[in-house]
Amino acid sequence: IQLTQSPSSLSASVGDRVTITCRASQVVSSYLAWYQQKPGRAPKLLIYAVSTLQSGVPSRFAGSESGTDFTLTISSLQPEDIATYYCQQLNGYPPWTFGQGTKVEIK
């Protein structure tokens, strides 16, 4: 299963609403997770099962789906949200592929 993220990078202002899309090449049911990775750090799980917020993650992060398209939304971008974001599908047995990443920068 291939995952295609768009855009590959974006620049937005503090307080903006930011949307990242992840399109799957096949049905992945509800087995889709989102991660945040800051430079030089390990990835951090933000959302699993499409829309369930991981414990401790701010409520400005949200996930949704429409068919094979999945969306990560940051409702109000904060300076600490500067990172690269990855989606991952976990449908059935591995391989559990990642998207290629979306780099978010502050304008």
Q: Which residues bind other proteins (CB under 8 A)?
A: 31, 33, 35, 37, 42-45, 48-49, 52, 54, 84, 86, 88, 90-91, 93-101
By C-beta, is 16 or 62 nearer to other proteins? 62
Query: What Cα–Cα distance (Å) separates residue 98 from each residue in 5, 34, 81, 94, 107?
Result: 9, 9, 20, 12, 27
Q: Quick one: 19 or 54, whose CB is closer to other proteins?
A: 54
The nearer residue to other proteins, 21 or 98, going by C-beta atoms, is 98
Give the strand pairing for 9-12 and 102-106: parallel
User: 44: which 2 tokens?
Assistant: 């951090």
**Cβ pair 50, 66 in contact under 8 A:** no
> What is the smallest separation between the CB atom of 45 and other proteins, expressed in angstroms?
5
| Spatial separation of the C-alpha atoms in residues 61 and 58, rounded to whole Å | 6
Closest contact distance (angstroms) between CB of 74 and other proteins is 18
In the complex, least distance from residue 6 CB atom to other proteins, rounded to whole angstroms: 14
